Every structure is written in structure tokens, then in C-alpha cells.
């Protein structure tokens, strides 16, 4: 037996997973999702002796290549000279923080909520929604980052069905998630991005705080801190009053107005559309190049083959 530090005393017994499941079952709200054994997965696995099934999903996401790649994907602004602007990874972290704040207070399953939130954008291309526009002509039914993330990008991790469902359906244009934790992430995603994308636009000197419409400013303020607090409290009030995940008024209308304002003044402004058009042309050019000669991508001279996308059972996580 070795210790890194002599004073590192815990003084507590390690609890097996089944004991933790029983304790959590008694603590969670009636409609919350319960972790059970190894979880429901495409490839069956043995339960972990200590970790809940959704904790294993969270570990796998954090250690995965799709998660690490988010650091190199933009959120809204392509500005490598300013490392204070959000990337797709920092966006996912902020979504997870909002989502777990709601889930913890509402008595929902926090590990499942965090796993969905951190993984929700792993299906995005390098330029966010412009990548969806670029790749859609090549796929039947178009390219949806939520569906692609759950069904292709994250498939090798063999995550629980509840986690993948939350990723697949986090977008509001998709069907409702099957769990309240997934619904919390859908709200947290919208709350986080409207607030931090506005903050980034102010930092980039595209907007000023005073540009925010009065119907937003008067309800949730102009600073990200107060905006997040107002929206999170509005979700918790809705849960408390109705038992369903939603958002009370007037914050719900303020959030909708905030999002509409961002689309008009940030996402669809002429400079952003010109940038998106260049991205679409570049990505389609790359796809056409490799479709014309697939050997350039797989098995070409000096080019490693693409790894298998089949689900696997990780030995370490």
C-alpha cells in the first residue's frame, strides 16, 4: 500500500454500484431516469462494480476523440487570435453547467444530464451549422448534426440508449427526448447559446449591450450572469408548478425574442453569411475531391484507413 501524501485520509468505505443505485432511486423525482446495472446499450456489457451506467457514459464522452475534436470547431466566430471567444467545446461545457444546475435542483439524474449535454454537439462539422448546409446534399434526408452525432460519431462508444436519445433529440426541430434529462439539455442548450453568443458578439464589437431589445433587457438584463440566472430560475419554477420541464413567462418570451435578435444581428448578418458561403464551398469541394477518388481517403499512399465505426465495449471506460 502506498500513499501520495501522508495526510490523505478519507475515512469512508467505498460503496458498490448497486448500493448507490438504491440510494439514488430514493432521492430522485418520480419521473427522473434511474440508472440500472450496465444500462441499455447496443452491445450488452457487464455492469461496472462502482460506477453508475450513466457515469460510464460521461467518462467515455470525456475521454473520446469526438469530444476532443470540439476544441477545434467554432461556435459562431472563427477568430483564432482571440481565445476568449467560445469554441464548440466551451459551448458544450457551458450547456452542461446550465443543465446540471437545473437537473440537480429538480431531482433529475445528473450524470445522464451531463453526459447528454457534453456530447450533444459531437456530430457538428468544423463550422457548426454551415457544415450541415454543406453536407446535406450528400445524404438522404440531409445532414443533421444531432442525428449524425448519436448514430455515427458516438456509436463506437456504445453509450446507453437514454444518452444517445438525448443527443439525437436535443434540437427543438427534432422529436421530444424520451427523458426529462434530455428535455433539460434542450432548454439548457438554447439558454446557453443565446447568452454566450451575444456576449461573444459584444466582445467582437459587433454589438453593444444597449443593442439588446427592451423586451429582453427588461426581463433578464444585459449581462450573461444575470441572464443565465433568470432563465434557470424560470425553468425551475415551471418544473415546480407543473411537474414538467418548461419555462415560465415572461422569461420564455424573452428567450424567444433573444434568439430572434441573435439570428438577425449575429448569425444571419451579411458578414456571417459570406463566411458561411465560403465554408460551404470549401467543404463541398473537399467532399467532391474524396468522392471522386475514395482511395485518397482510405488506403491511399501514406493515408491511414478510416477506423471501424462499429460499437465496441471499451475496456478502460
Cell of 175: 422529436
Lowest-confidence pick of 14-23, 63-72, 125-134: 125-134
Average pLDDT over residues 154-158: 98
Structure confidence at residue 81 as a pLDDT band (50, 70, 90): low
| pLDDT reading at 130 higher than 50 | yes
Per DSSP, 128 falls in state B
Nine cell digits for residue 182: 434530455
pLDDT of residue 5: 81
Task: Walk me through the domains of the chain, giving residue ranges and CATH numbers.
Answer: 54-289 (1.10.3210.10)
Q: End-to-end distance of the chain based on CA atoms, in angstroms?
A: 24
The pLDDT > 70 percentage for the chain reads 91
Which of 6-20, 55-69, 174-188, 199-213 is predicted with the least confidence, judged by mean pLDDT?
6-20
More confident residue, 268 or 74: 268
pLDDT of residue 238: 98
Cell numbers describing residue 23: 440510494
pLDDT level of residue 77 (50, 70, 90 thresholds): low
Average the pLDDT over each of 10-14, 168-172, 311-315 and give the range with the smallest value: 311-315
Whether residue 310 is predicted with pLDDT greater than 70 in this model: the reply is no
DSSP assigned state of 177: P
pLDDT at 82 over 60: yes
Residue 26 CA to residue 217 CA, distance in Å, equals 41
For position 40, what pLDDT does the model report?
A: 98
**Length of the chain, in residues:** 317
Give me the DSSP letters along 49-100.
Answer: SSS-HHHHHHHHHHTSHHHHHGGGSBSS---TT-TTS-BHHHHHHHHHHHHH
Global pTM value:
0.90
Identify the DSSP state of 152. Answer: I
Q: Quick one: pLDDT band at residue 304, thresholds 50, 70, 90?
A: very low
What's the pLDDT at 285? Answer: 92
Q: Is 312's pLDDT higher than 80?
A: no
* Dihedral (CA of 84, 87, 91, 94) sign: negative
Per the DSSP assignment, residues forming a β-bridge with 128 are 125
For the CA atoms of 82, 87, 93, 96, what is the dihedral angle to 10 degrees?
130
Amino acid at each position: 500500500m502506498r500513499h501520495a501524501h501522508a495526510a490523505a485520509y478519507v475515512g469512508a468505505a467505498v460503496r458498490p454500484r448497486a448500493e448507490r443505485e438504491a440510494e439514488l432511486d430514493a432521492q430522485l423525482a418520480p419521473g427522473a431516469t434511474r440508472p440500472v446495472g450496465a444500462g441499455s446499450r447496443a452491445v450488452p456489457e457487464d455492469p461496472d462494480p462502482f460506477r453508475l451506467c450513466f457515469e460510464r457514459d460521461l467518462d467515455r464522452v470525456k475521454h473520446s476523440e469526438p469530444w476532443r475534436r470540439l476544441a477545434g470547431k467554432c461556435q459562431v466566430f472563427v477568430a483564432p487570435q482571440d481565445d476568449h471567444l467560445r469554441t464548440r467545446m466551451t459551448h458544450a461545457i457551458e450547456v452542461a453547467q446550465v443543465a446540471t444546475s437545473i437537473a440537480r435542483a429538480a431531482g433529475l439524474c445528473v450524470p445522464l444530464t451531463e453526459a447528454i449535454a457534453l456530447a450533444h454537439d459531437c456530430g457538428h462539422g468544423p463550422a457548426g451549422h454551415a457544415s450541415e448546409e454543406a453536407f446535406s446534399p450528400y445524404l438522404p434526408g440531409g445532414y443533421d448534426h444531432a442525428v449524425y452525432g448519436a448514430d455515427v460519431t458516438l456509436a463506437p462508444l456504445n453509450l446507453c440508449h437514454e444518452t444517445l436519445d438525448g443527443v439525437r433529440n436535443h434540437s427543438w426541430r427534432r422529436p421530444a427526448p424520451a427523458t426529462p434529462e434530455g428535455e433539460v439539455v434542450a432548454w439548457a442548450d438554447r439558454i446557453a447559446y443565446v447568452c454566450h453568443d451575444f456576449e461573444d458578439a459584444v466582445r467582437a464589437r459587433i454589438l453593444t449591450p444597449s443593442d439588446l431589445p427592451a423586451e429582453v433587457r427588461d426581463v433578464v438584463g444585459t449581462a450573461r450572469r444575470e441572464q443565465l440566472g433568470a432563465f434557470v430560475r424560470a425553468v425551475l419554477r415551471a418544473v415546480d408548478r407543473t411537474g414538467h420541464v418548461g419555462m415560465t413567462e415572461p422569461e420564455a418570451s424573452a428567450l424567444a425574442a433573444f434568439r430572434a435578435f441573435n439570428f438577425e444581428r449575429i448569425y444571419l448578418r451579411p458578414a456571417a453569411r459570406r463566411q458561411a458561403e465560403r465554408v460551404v464551398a470549401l467543404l463541398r469541394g473537399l467532399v467532391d475531391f474524396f468522392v471522386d477518388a475514395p482511395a485518397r481517403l482510405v488506403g491511399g499512399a501514406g493515408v491511414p484507413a478510416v477506423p471501424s465505426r462499429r460499437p465496441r465495449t471499451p475496456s478502460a471506460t
